[in-house]
């Protein structure tokens, strides 16, 4: 069965610190898709990135970077030089090729103070 684990429930950092959010997933499918979403206090889930199982290339987008490692079934998310506006709940999610449902982790609440 598929499962997503975000072991870090809450993380607090001071502005300009780097922070890494961990995500470990379980699936028996060989083709699957991984996602990160951000949920600010307003409640709407905002898409950040999608990664296909056959593409292990890491990605950098501005202050955000993602490290996908199939060998350890991990898809970690790093924010460099964090800002107060990064404060939100971050969710990692998995979708298998044959499925239509997103399986979410429990989320990591990131608090960035100035």
Sites of contact with another protein (CB under 8 A): 33, 35, 37, 42-47, 50, 52, 91, 95-107
Helix (H, G, I), strand (E, B) or coil at 43: coil
CB of 33: closest distance to another protein in angstroms? 6
Q: CB-wise, 19 or 89, nearer to another protein?
A: 89
Q: CB-wise, 80 or 87, nearer to another protein?
A: 87
**Which two tokens mark 91?**
């969710």
Q: CB-wise, 38 or 82, nearer to another protein?
A: 38
Q: What is the DSSP letter of 86?
A: G
Half-sphere exposure of 37 (CA within 13 A, CB side): 16
CB 56 within 8 A of CB 46: no
CB of 25: closest distance to another protein in angstroms? 15
């Amino acid at each position: 069965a598929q499962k997503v684990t975000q072991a870090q429930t809450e993380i607090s950092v001071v502005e300009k610190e780097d922070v890494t959010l961990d995500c470990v997933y379980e699936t028996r499918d060989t083709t699957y898709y991984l996602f990160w979403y951000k949920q600010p206090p307003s409640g709407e889930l905002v898409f950040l990135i999608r990664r296909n199982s056959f593409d292990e290339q890491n990605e950098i987008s501005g202050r955000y970077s993602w490290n996908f490692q199939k060998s350890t079934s991990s898809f970690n998310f790093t924010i460099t030089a964090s800002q107060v506006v990064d404060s939100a709940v971050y969710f990692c999610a998995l979708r298998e090729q044959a499925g239509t449902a997103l399986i979410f982790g429990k989320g990591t609440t990131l608090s960035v103070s100035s």
